[in-house]
């Protein structure tokens, strides 16, 4: 006798078959349908992990805001890596483009960006999140204290958290980028310019972008000093 899970699996598989095949179109091989279903199931797990981490961050923000006149988190954004980007990264790393490869070799399929007002907020939020006993730190890269050559600054965390599904508990990895409003402003514009094209004009402004990043970093430092000075006076 089929379980409820097996019945739902069969129903969703048939739905995929109807969508990609149909009476007037060529039938899609069962192997491809299974791969599509497995990919869909994996993305559900990554989305669930994003919700888990986002909830943790929102709770921390609410708690701190209740005892302070401001919030340490301006906003939280999230995304799931697109299929093309996943395939491109697996190819670059010389891994097969399979569902198994995604979870085995990629740490940034599920991504969360946390925007904070001040630099100290970045490290405070990171420390509080990592102190939770169900959050396991896989990797940490501090591009604030050691910026990339192009001027990029942000704190990157790869964490693993348990997520509970109908079939049991699974540990899912999530990449978290924590940065100030100014860092995020620069990164967004730099990304847009860099990916527009590869013309000589774009290459020529790399030095100016780096100069802008340095100016923004100096502004972040100055704003942090001003805040600490004001806090000491109040």
Domain range annotation of the chain? 4-181
DSSP β-ladder status, 155-165 and 110-116: unpaired
Q: Among 100, 166, 172, which Cα is nearest to 134's?
A: 172
What's the topology of domain 4-181?
A: Beta Polymerase; domain 2 (3.30.460)
Residue 168 C-alpha from the chain's centroid: 24
Q: What is the pLDDT along the chain (234 residues), one digit of tens a residue?
A: 455 545 555 555 555 555 445 555 556 566 767 788 888 899 999 999 999 999 999 999 999 888 777 889 999 999 999 988 999 999 999 999 889 999 999 999 999 999 999 999 999 999 999 999 999 999 999 999 999 998 999 999 999 999 999 889 999 999 999 999 999 999 988 877 766 556 666 667 778 888 899 999 999 999 999 989 988 877
Cβ neighbourhood burial of 72 (10 Å; 0-12, 13-18, 19+):
buried
For the beta carbon of residue 98, count every other beta carbon within 10 angstroms: 14
């Amino acid at each position: 006798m089929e379980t409820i899970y097996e019945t739902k699996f069969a129903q969703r598989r048939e739905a995929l078959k109807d969508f990609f095949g149909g009476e007037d179109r060529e039938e899609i091989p069962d192997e491809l349908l299974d791969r599509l279903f497995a990919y869909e199931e994996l993305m559900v797990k990554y989305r669930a992990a994003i919700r888990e981490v986002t909830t943790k961050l929102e709770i921390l923000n609410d708690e701190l805001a209740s005892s302070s006149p401001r919030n340490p988190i301006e906003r939280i954004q999230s995304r799931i890596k697109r299929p093309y980007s996943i395939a491109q990264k697996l190819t670059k790393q010389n891994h097969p483009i399979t569902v198994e490869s995604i979870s085995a070799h990629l740490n940034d399929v599920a991504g969360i960006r946390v925007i904070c007002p001040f630099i100290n907020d970045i490290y405070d939020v990171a420390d509080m999140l990592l102190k939770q006993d169900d959050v396991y730190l896989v990797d940490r890269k501090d591009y604030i204290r050691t910026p990339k050559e192009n001027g990029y600054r942000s704190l990157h965390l790869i964490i693993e958290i348990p997520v509970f599904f109908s079939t049991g508990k699974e540990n899912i990895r999530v990449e978290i980028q924590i940065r100030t409003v100014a860092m995020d402003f620069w990164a967004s514009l730099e990304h847009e310019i860099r990916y527009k094209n590869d013309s000589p004009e774009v290459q020529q402004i790399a030095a100016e972008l780096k100069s802008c990043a340095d100016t923004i970093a100096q502004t972040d430092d100055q704003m942090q000093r001003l805040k600490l000075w004001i806090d000491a006076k109040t």
